[in-house]
Amino acid sequence: MTFPVQGPMRLDDAIESLFGRGARITASRPIGGGCINDARRLEVSTGDALFVKSNRASLTGLFEEEARGLAELACEGGPRVPAVHGVITDGDRQLILLEFIERGSKGRGFFADFASRLATLHRSRRAERAGFAGDNHIGASPQANGWRETWASFFGEQRILFQVSLAERKGIADAVLRRSAERLVARLPDLLPEPDGGFHLMHGDLWGGNYMVDSAGGAVLIDPAVAYGHREADIAMTELFGGFSRDFYAAYRESWPLDGGYDDRRDIYNLYHLLNHANLFGGSYLSSCRAILRRYQ
């Protein structure tokens, strides 16, 4: 995958390559909201602006993964996705250069339109197997995306057990958690339906902090953790921490109804995210994971 600028390159040279000889950065201001990367708005002498995130260059592939995910999510009729202008390494930093999108406010029909567009994305982007063409990250955690023939095997191995293994390495998971997780994974072929007509592209980390509203009042997807799987896992994630209205769920189901029994599966999907939060933040998240595992034993 290629972008207008990529590879080892000084940021100043990247700006000239994008906006023309003599273009330079005239202002740089931090933008809040992230806990992993430094995020800034760069203003350019041409009047253009960029959204730039940076992190240590030693975190190899971090922004290439994000760029690949954003490109995969872009589809006609789907939610807006920021354009990627480049991924560069400048000394000991890696940077991703993105379209700067001015923020707006939600209008009356925002959530209904967002849901309809998300259903379009899920319907339009399919694969024959579950997984993705490369591992990526979910927040600061690695995310395994090796291809699997079934949704149950992918979700069990690459989501639940992968996170349990991370928790064991961090010393926060015991043998009881491991056994409970393995019992649940053994039951997944009976608990999780296989998607019809191929596996759907999932944003993968669709909580209220990973969408924004543009100046036209439309939804914009950001910070993806993409893979192909079952679309209902995306919907489950939206319910975990809130931030989506009843109109969102009504409009999504009107666009594309969910399979029966979804409410019984929602917590299985969200176990993955709770395990990830336990690995990142500890605390009560591990107790929530244990409670869900007990429910499905």
Q: What's the whole-number mean pLDDT along residues 41-45?
A: 97
Please, which pLDDT band fits residue 283 given cuts at 50, 70 and 90?
confident
CB atoms near residue 217 (< 10 Å): 14
Residues annotated as catalytic are 205
The class (CATH top level) of 110-295 is alpha beta
Which of 33-42, 160-169, 198-207, 220-229 bottoms out in mean pLDDT, i.e. has the lowest? 33-42
84-90 and 5-8 beta bridge pairing: parallel
Mean pLDDT across the stretch 129-134?
97
pLDDT at residue 35 in the model? 64
CA distance 62 to 3: 16
Nearest to 121 by CA among 56, 167, 165, 75: 75
- For the cut 80, the answer to whether the pLDDT of residue 1 exceeds it is no
pTM of the predicted model as reported, rounded to 2 decimal places: 0.95
Structure tokens at 136: 């990526």
Asked if pLDDT for residue 23 goes beyond 80, the answer is yes
- Kindly list the domain boundaries of the chain, sorted by start residue: 5-99, 110-295
**Which CATH number is correct for 5-99, 3.40.50.2020, 3.30.200.20, 3.30.210.10, 3.40.50.300?**
3.30.200.20
